[in-house]
Amino acid sequence: MAQRRTEPYIWVTWLTKLLAGESGCEWSAWFRAHHTKYDKLPADFDLARWTIEHNELVSARREQLLDEGHTVYVEEENAFKRIGKTGIVVSGKPDLLAMRDGVGFVEDCKTGRPRTSDQLQVLVYMLLLPIGNPRCANVSLSGRVVYQTSSVDVPPTGLDEAFRGRFVDLVRRVGGDSPLPKAPAWSECRWCDIGPADCLYRVSEPPESIEAETDLF
């Protein structure tokens, strides 16, 4: 049974798909931010395979960066927890932080197809990771999304006032007391682990395809 958190807690990836417009259900992020130990539905993907492929990609990228002379920090070494003046907590865990000669890179490794939210995730890491982090002091920080056959640079120019404003506004809404709007649809609900016990409007079946003949074309 779902338990109410004492303070709102937000994991970075709960925000980035909303920021990118790849998800429209703000309520699911709000629910996770305010509740824990809810009855989760089984994941609809091969977690074991993803874990193996992701770990292999992170390991290979780490070796590349070490060969280039970087100092490299991996996953748990990069975990952060930032507590805002509102009491809202935002946490994340970049895959890699690489540094050399006063220049640093925050990198996240992805095994799926490229998405805009991947770059926004790295931008959020670039925004929050340096706060209170002595490793990032006096370091010029950029970002990169690393895929299995390509990579995408995420320049610090993306951390402009418009992005910061959108991020802060979403954090405050997701971490706020008032529940946010639901967007029940198969395209949303099929990837959501919040079950019908907590979401009465959950869509559990894909819509029927409607076919009809026409003389229009």
Rounded CA Rg of the chain? 19
If you search the block for the tokens 């990609």, which residue do you land on?
57
Find the domain containing 75 and state its range.
3-189
On whether residue 217 sits in a domain, the answer given is no
Q: What angle do CA 79, 81, 86 make, to 5 degrees?
A: 165
pLDDT in tens for each of the 217 residues of the chain?
A: 899 999 999 999 999 999 999 999 999 999 999 999 999 887 666 778 889 999 999 999 999 999 999 999 999 999 999 999 999 999 999 999 999 999 999 999 999 999 999 999 999 999 999 999 999 999 999 999 999 999 999 999 999 999 999 999 999 999 999 999 999 999 899 889 999 999 999 998 888 888 899 999 9
- Residue 203: inside a domain: no
Whether 79 is covered by a domain: the verdict is yes
C-alpha distance from residue 159 to each of 60, 121, 133, 137, 139 (Å): 28, 12, 18, 17, 16
The answer to whether residue 43 sits within a structural domain is yes
Provide the CB-side half-sphere exposure for 69 (13 A, CA).
4
- With respect to residue 216, please indicate whether it lies within any of the assigned structural domains: no
Q: What is the value of pTM for the model shown? A: 0.92
- Rounded distance between C-alpha atoms, residue 16 and residue 13, angstroms: 5
Q: Which two tokens stand for residue 173?
A: 């809404």
How many other CB atoms are found less than 10 A from the CB of residue 211?
5
Position 80, amino acid: F
| 199 located within any domain | no
Establish if 198 belongs to a structural domain.
no
CA distances from 86 to 4, 57, 175, 177 (A): 17, 37, 9, 11
Quickly count helices (H) and strands (E) in the chain. 6, 10
What's the pLDDT at 43? 67
Number of domains in the chain: 1
The CATH number for 183's domain is: 3.90.320.10
In a domain, residue 195? The reply is no
In degrees rounded to 5, what are phi and psi of residue 78?
-105, 0
Element (H, E) at 152: strand 151-154
